[in-house]
Structure formats: C-alpha cells, structure tokens
Amino acid sequence: MQILVTGGMGYIGSHTVVELIQSGHEVIILDNLYNANIDVLDRIEKLTGVRPKFYEVDILDREGLERAFKENHFEAIIHFAGYKAVGESVRIPLTYYKNNISGSINLYEMMDKYHVDNIVFSSSATVYGDNFEVPFKEEYGQGDTTNPYGTTKKFNEIILSDFALANKDISVVNLRYFNPIGAHPSGLLGEDPKGIPNNLVPYIAKVATGELDHLNVFGDDYDTIDGTGVRDYIHVVDLAKAHLKAVEYACKHKGAEVINVGSGKGYSVLEVLHAYEKACGKTLKYEIHDRRPGDIATSYADTQKAKELLGFEVELGIDEMCRDSYNYMIHNLEDQKNR
Ligand code: NAD
Ligand code: UD1
C-alpha cells in the first residue's frame, strides 16, 4: 500500500521506511530536514534498492502538505514528525506546542479532507508520568506529564482518539514507545545527536568513541537493583518492525487504540554501561551525580497488548542494541574523516 511517513528522514522514521519498503509497501517521505540529513535518502536506497519519493515540506506549511495529499493516494500515514528534546521543550514551550500540536492538526485536517483513514502516531511512555506502578499498562490511561514535550504527546493521543470517535472511518494506533536505542546493523542509519546528548545511550556512545570523557550517572539511590534508574530499552529495528505491524493493523480496524512498544524488561544505567563496554571492548569511566529533576526510578512496559493485537515481540536484546550503536558510531566517524 502507499504510505505517507512524516519525519521519515529521522532516527526512527528512516529505520521504519526501510522495513516498510522491504515488505513491499510504497513509501512517500515528508520531512523538513530540521533534524535530519538529505544523505539518509541515499542510505535508504542503498539498503532497499528503492529511492522513495521525498517532499521537503514542513507540516506547518499547509500548502506544501496539501500538495503531497493531492499528488498521491495515501492509504495510511505514520506520523513521526515533531520536536523531541525534553529540556528544550521546557525553555521554548510555544515552539513545541506549535510544531507538535498545530503541525499535527494540519496533518489530521488533510487526512479528513482527502479521506485518508488510517494513522499510526509516535507517542511515548512519558505519558504515564510518575503516577503508576510498573509494568506500565495501556489501561492505566495517561498520567501527569512533567514537561511540554510530554504534554504534546498526551494531547495528540487525545486529539486522535476524539477524531476517531467523531468519524467512524478513522483508524488510529497511538504507539507508546519506551526507550529506542541502537542502529541499523549495516551502520548506515542511526542516531548521533549534535552537541552533548541528553539521553543515556547516545551519551555513552560518545564516551566510547572518546568524544566525551566519562558518563555522569544521574543518581545511585533509587530503589532499583543497583540504585541507578531502570528503563525499558528497545532496538530501533524492532521498533521499526512494530510500525509495520501497527500500520497493517490500522488498515484492518476502526477506532483508536493505544499500544505500548517495549521489550518488557528493565535495565539499570550501570547495566547498560557494562553492556556497552562489552560491545566496544573498552572500560568506560563514569561518575555518580545527583538525580536529574523529573526522572522516575523505573519504567518498563507491559507488552501483552502488542503481542495480542499486533503479534509483535522484540527479537533483539541489549547486547545487539549496544553492538549496533557502537558500529554506527564507528561508521559515522569514518564517514566524517572521508568528507
Ligand atoms: P528525529 O528528530 O530523529 O525525527 C523526527 C523527524 O521529524 C526529523 O527528521 C525532523 O527533521 C522531522 N520534523 C520535525 N519537525 C518537523 C516539521 N514541522 N515538519 C516536517 N518534519 C519535521 O526523532 P526520532 O527519535 O526519530 O522520533 C520520531 C518521533 O518519535 C518523534 O515524534 C518523537 O517525539 C517520538 N518519540 C521518540 C522517542 C525517542 O526516544 N527517540 C521516544 C518516544 C517518542
Ligand atoms: C527521556 C525523557 C523522556 C523521553 C525519552 C526518550 C526526561 C526526564 N525524560 O527519558 O520524556 O520520552 O528520554 O527521548 O528527559 N541517564 C544518566 N546519565 C545521562 C543520561 C541519562 O544517568 O547522561 C539516566 C537517566 O537518569 C535515566 C536513564 O539514564 O535513568 C535513561 O535516560 P534517558 O535516556 O534520558 O531516557 P528517559 O529518562 O527514560
């Protein structure tokens, strides 16, 4: 089927595009390249033998968006486009609400106008907040978000559910991702944020390549296995495969569903650090610091619903996640040297 992928040049989007093409779907990417490089298109072509049609368009640009809807016949949409930095969202909330909410509403209005009925949305486990016991179950609903980024995810889930409630043809799958890490095993796609990374694995990756000296561990006094924060990490290729199943599910059903996408297993900060040491064959330095404001002790998914509705289970573990992350970093450094 013909699928529009907004944000398809980004980290999770590009991996999903590869899985979709490899399963025989026709993909059209729409991305404003705010947080992505045009080279990704060459890399997708190298991996799949197909160069997807690409619109360099901002979802805030209604005319540009409409052009993509007029020129194609999308059967479904996977909506990744958005800003995602938690700290930045606290500093510039209006920019986040405009991009992630107003931009998304533009997209949903086009769906309505051009009768595109099926959508998969990138939500986040952050919508559970600090209100519930692990494992987090979809039936808990939404907790209290602690930053504007999280609130944009919460609002989008609500907007899409209301849209489906009012329009019986619409099918929505809100995927709540836990912590995506890793990279494509080819080393061609991955994530290497500019500047100092906020998230754990991108930070460890830079310690492993020598770009940063040591990891700052945010708190060792949580009620967890070793006192450090526990999260549910999922390989980005597994997450991409979950999108393939979710979009196929959306096309066969009506109404709105919320589905967790995680491994169901939690790892502490130090466990991840040690797995990365194994992957890169080096000892990595770390220092214990105070807790990071807004962090919770433990987060991991109840994965039953993903199994039941999508037939989805993860295939890759923490060692593969760290191996592929490091492989991508090494590839990337070589690429930069050759430029
Ligand atoms: P990313 O930044 O790599 O990808 C997002 C893409 O959207 C980028 O290519 C960017 O250029 C594009 N984009 C941003 N604003 C746009 C706009 N106005 N118009 C068109 N394109 C725009 O991020 P990612 O990690 O791949 O995340 C994808 C989605 O998943 C995001 O919505 C993010 O909030 C959500 N999510 C990510 C994580 C995570 O840990 N990475 C966790 C939960 C949810
Ligand atoms: C963070 C965001 C969350 C977002 C998710 C994915 C916050 C409070 N939460 O989640 O909203 O959906 O990223 O983008 O920012 N850690 C360190 N040192 C570091 C970095 C992290 O010890 O340099 C620890 C953290 O305290 C946490 C764990 O590593 O215990 C994972 O952190 P991170 O990768 O930032 O993910 P989340 O906190 O789960």
What is the per-residue pLDDT across 3-52, written as a single tens digit (0 to 9) for each?
999 999 999 999 999 999 999 999 999 999 999 999 999 999 999 999 99
SS3 annotation, 77-94:
EEECCCCCCHHHHHHCHH
Which strand (E) or helix (H) includes residue 216?
Answer: strand 215-218
Question: Which of the listed residues 15, 17, 19, 31 should we mutate to test ligand 1's pocket, taking the one with most ligand atoms within 8 A of CB?
Answer: 31
**CA angle in degrees (0–180, nearest 5) for 272-278-284:** 70
What's the CA-to-centroid distance between 171 and ligand 2, angstroms? 31
Indicate the DSSP class of residue 265: -
261 contacts: CB under 8 Å, gap ≥ 6: 175, 176, 177, 178, 234, 239, 242, 301, 306, 312
Instruction: Specify whether 326 is catalytic.
Output: no
Question: Which of the listed residues 276, 289, 292, 300 should we mutate to test ligand 2's pocket, taking the one with most ligand atoms within 8 A of CB?
Answer: 292
Pairwise CA distance, residues 213 & 245, whole Å: 40
Q: Identify the three-state secondary structure at position 88.
A: helix
Q: How many CB atoms lie within 10 A of CB 57?
A: 21
Residue identifier of the C-alpha nearest atom 21 of ligand 2: 200
150 and 144 in contact (C-beta within 8 Å)?
Answer: no
| pLDDT score for 334 | 79
Pairwise CA distance, residues 16 & 36, whole Å: 15
What is the per-residue pLDDT across 55-71, written as a single tens digit (0 to 9) for each?
999 999 999 999 999 99
| pLDDT score for 250 | 98
| pLDDT score for 257 | 98
What's the CA-to-centroid distance between 287 and ligand 1, angstroms? 30
293 and 325 in contact (C-beta within 8 Å)?
Answer: no
| pLDDT score for 209 | 96
Pairwise CA distance, residues 298 & 226, whole Å: 12
The one-letter amino acid code at 66 reads E
| pLDDT score for 226 | 98
Query: What's the length of the chain?
Result: 339
pLDDT-flagged residues of the chain (< 50): none
Q: How far is CA 137 from CA 101, 132, 244, 299, 306, in A?
A: 25, 9, 22, 11, 11
Q: Count CA atoms within 13 Å of residue 60 on its CB side.
A: 12
Q: Is the CB of 105 under 6 A from ligand 1?
A: no
The one-letter amino acid code at 83 reads Y
